[in-house]
Amino acid sequence: MAVTDPAVTAKLLTPAAVHNAYTLIKPYIHTTPLLTCKTLNAIASTPQSAESLRGTPFEGQAPAKPKFRLFFKCENFQRIGAFKARGAFHALLRLIEQKGEDEVRKRGVITHSSGNHAQALALAASTLHIPAYIVMPSISTPSKIEGTKSHGAKVVFSGSTSTEREAVVAEIQSQTGAILVPPYDDFNVICGQGTTGLELEGQYAQFVKENPGLSVHKDSPGNATLDAVITPIGGGGLNAGVATYFSDKSTRVFGAEPSFEGGDDCRRGLAAGSRVESVKTLTIADGLRTPVGLLNWEIISDKSKEAGVFSVTEEQIKAALRLVLERMKVVVEPSAVVGLAVCLFDEEFRRIVEKEGGDKGWDVGIVFSGGNTTVEAIGKFFSG
């Protein structure tokens, strides 16, 4: 389903649409694990130091004292190492339904991506025997480039901004007639990504039922619900999909972004009341370098669906990444940990949890969006 009038299309994004997507893609994706970590619960529930608050609006004030129980949805264990497989399979399966397998196979499909959607569409196309053209920034992580090529897709390089990527896509389409499968600003992609929230909710309920002590709601485990879910925001497909899924439930959905070089376009756009149209950032969270899509903006800017968006610094992302690597023993990419970094370091968010969670605190689902990095890249983050 193409984005024609985003406001109209957004109304069709419902929890039922996410359920329907899950039924269709389930044979093609992994049910990724949900993990907990007592150490990170304790660290997140410890007030920040006065030094940490220096230079912030909260300098000189008593630090927040929130209580967290964190539940990590590990999409780094998804096929191709990221949640993007969900949206890519759903979009391609719907495209075949709509246009017929012969036409889609004749024309092929095309997209642009820094790596995770690239690999996801390449995998989906290979699985369903469809030719794929993938436009990737030349500065993409080498492992993501090789991963995309390994599924048989034709990779064409471009500049790093979304504008540069889209220009190359248009050129290839004019030559081949390939059908665009957008990386994030697409109804079917969003529905596919929203299945992350569907799985997370079910796994959380089972966890708490079997071990009530994992939850702040241990006194009523049969009725326990997540207080919040926080996901990274780049183009916004994951966050919009998850917000869509939870839109008829009490669970609040938040977004997290890198602040480096204006990477927090969604947060800034919400503050200004209008979408930021372009982003130029070389944040280490390379999967989050794109502006929020038009359709995703319709969802995320709806206060009945999105509770808020926060941003974190490069150093805070690195600190969160180190904790996940060293304490959880889980390999993730920098983009994956921005939600955890918000829980650890954003004093505004932490005060919300302290105020509204009270003595009990909040159960928070954090989506680890992917794990496509390299030993060399991780080494550079922590060298010097």
Catalytic residues: 84, 114
Which amino acid would we find at residue 72? Answer: F
Which amino acid would we find at residue 296? Answer: N
Separation of first and last alpha carbons in the chain: 48
CA distances in angstroms from 71 to 203, 213, 235, 267, 348, listed in the order given: 10, 13, 24, 24, 21
CA 17 to chain centre: 19
Q: Residue 115 has what DSSP assignment?
A: S
Sorted by sequence, the CB contacts under 8 Å of residue 138 that are 6+ apart come out as 157, 158, 159, 160
CA 62 to chain centre: 32
The structure tokens listed for 8 are 């109209």
The Cα–Cα gap between 18 and 191 comes to 5
- Given a contact cutoff of 8 angstroms between Cβ atoms, the answer to whether 346 and 330 are in contact is no
Half-sphere exposure of 335 (CA within 13 A, CB side): 29
- Containing 113, the helix (H) or strand (E) segment is none
Cα four-point dihedral sign 111, 77, 92, 255: negative
The structure tokens listed for 267 are 């947060």
The structure tokens listed for 189 are 């992609």
Half-sphere exposure of 271 (CA within 13 A, CB side): 8
- Given a contact cutoff of 8 angstroms between Cβ atoms, the answer to whether 78 and 89 are in contact is no
The Cα–Cα gap between 247 and 14 comes to 8
Strand partners, 127: none
